[in-house]
Amino acid sequence: MRLLRFWIALALLVLPSIARAGWLYGNRYTRLAPPALPEYAGMTASLPLLATPQALKPAEVASKVVVVDVAHKNLFGVSELEALTRALTDLGARLQTVQNAQSLGPALKHADAYVVVAPMTAFTPDEMWQAQHFVNQGGRVLVLTDPTRVPVTGDGLSGPNSLLAPFDLAFSDDYLYNLVENEGNYRNVWLKKFADSPLTAGLSTVAFYAAHSVNTSTGTPLILADERTLSSRTDAGGNLAAAALSADERVLAVGDLTFITAPYYQVADNSRLIAHIAEFLVGGERSHDLADAPFIFTRPVTILPTQNITLTADLVKSLGQLQLALGTANITCTLSSQPAQDSDLIVLGSYAPSRDLLPYLSPLLADFNISLESRTVERKSASISVPGVGNVAKEGTGLILFSRTEERSTLILLANDPDWLSDLVSVLASGLQPECAVQKQAAICNLVKPDSNRGSEVKLPPDQSQPGTSLP
């Protein structure tokens, strides 16, 4: 009996603790399945398909000049364009860089194509005019930008967009991305929609590595993103173009630079696109007018002094300058008393034309609808009469006349004497402007230098009725 009591007492002593422990700890937490972890071992990085670079048909004539702009604080190295420059040289093009804004105009005068990559400074109105003139003359322009090439401060697109504005092309301040289907990263987009153009012939897929979208209302959106490729600016997609061509098909704007650089030019059809871009750049038919002087020739040039021109030391020096200038465009020029075959011509003469100048002047006079009879030489006259312009003082001025026939291009330089002619040749060598008022086939140049006394006495004749030398 006592033993029973003992066990009951012990149970009563212990049971509350057991019960409480059971209550507190009895409901054991059980997980039905272990927490799922990602399959790390099966994860791999996607690698792009590499394509063989496009083989280009070698050029028959190595004569095209492609000017690459490095004058606008461009955020790139020329070596990054290796794939494009290789394609261009395969096509026989010669590359030149423009190091400063002052040399852009002269460079464009003899260029066939102009390449601008990620410029960080805006183009001046003068540069924009030069680019427009270049395009109007048949030159090709390629503008590349890249959202990863941005300045520390300021707007990275004012540069390219200022150049593109006259051609109704503009880069958006965005980048394209695709979170679903991409080339290794959301900002590396596959592009599979192409407008019908020689630039996109045979392309099935290209990869761009962070690209601005390009807007145009009159031009052709050339390379288009699919619906799932979005613009970072709106997080919306649909008809976003990564490259576009101007309405005249002479200006190409591409929103990415990286696709040209190694190793990405090998991905998908990128090398084929680069080859097409190279063909586009050398495919224009560039024409030249007097505003492009002295780069209006495409062949070797013969310099022909007429009988009443004495080759003074100054004139020879100026001719050397002209020779040097034409040399930058790979045009040789030789001094000769007779025009050479298969060459263009620069004729040096005076306002009082010698007999041997007349054969060169005659076609121009016909162009200007002036009879030879009106070509009266009045040696004592202080002015000459230029049709459509009026009277021009002989002293301190020079006249340049330009004609192009199937046979040759001819440039006639006229001044009052060899000294003024020497200055006129110098002006021609330095590109006419701003010293000259240039028209389509004629330019009238001021030859009076501000720091020179020579010519300061020159005055235009007050009396218009005074007869003068009449020239086109």
Residues at the contact surface with other proteins, assessed by CB under 8 A: 5-6, 8-17, 19-21, 23-25, 27-29, 31, 34-40, 43-47, 152-153, 179-180, 184-186, 228, 235, 263-264
| Shortest distance in whole angstroms from residue 26 CB to other proteins | 9
Q: Are 418 and 312 in contact (CB under 8 A)?
A: yes
Taking residue 460's Cβ as centre, other Cβ atoms within 10 Å add up to: 13
| Shortest distance in whole angstroms from residue 25 CB to other proteins | 6
| Shortest distance in whole angstroms from residue 46 CB to other proteins | 7
Nearer to other proteins, 27 or 341 (CB): 27
| Shortest distance in whole angstroms from residue 23 CB to other proteins | 6
Q: How far apart are CA 20 and CA 288, in angstroms?
A: 103
Q: Are 146 and 166 in contact (CB under 8 A)?
A: no
Q: How far apart are CA 426 and CA 174, in angstroms?
A: 48
| Shortest distance in whole angstroms from residue 224 CB to other proteins | 20
| Shortest distance in whole angstroms from residue 185 CB to other proteins | 5
Nearer to other proteins, 163 or 207 (CB): 207
Is cis: bond before 198, omega within 30 of 0? Answer: no
Nearer to other proteins, 34 or 125 (CB): 34
Q: What is the token pair recorded at 99?
A: 């190091």
Surface-to-core class of residue 255, CB atoms within 10 Å of its CB (0-12 exposed, 13-18 middle, 19+ buried): buried
Nearer to other proteins, 7 or 406 (CB): 7
Nearer to other proteins, 29 or 451 (CB): 29
| Shortest distance in whole angstroms from residue 263 CB to other proteins | 7
Q: How far apart are CA 181 and CA 268, in angstroms?
A: 15
Residue 334 DSSP label: E
Nearer to other proteins, 15 or 460 (CB): 15
| Shortest distance in whole angstroms from residue 175 CB to other proteins | 13
The three-class DSSP label of residue 141 is strand
Nearer to other proteins, 33 or 313 (CB): 33
DSSP codes, 373-440: GG----TT-SEEEETTTEEEESTTEEEEEEEE-SS-EEEEEEESSHHHHHHHHHHHHTTSTTTEEE-S
The three-class DSSP label of residue 144 is strand
Backbone angles phi, psi at 357, to 5 degrees: -85, -25
Q: How far apart are CA 302 and CA 317, in angstroms?
A: 16
Nearer to other proteins, 27 or 371 (CB): 27
Handedness of CA 90, 96, 97, 103 (dihedral sign): negative
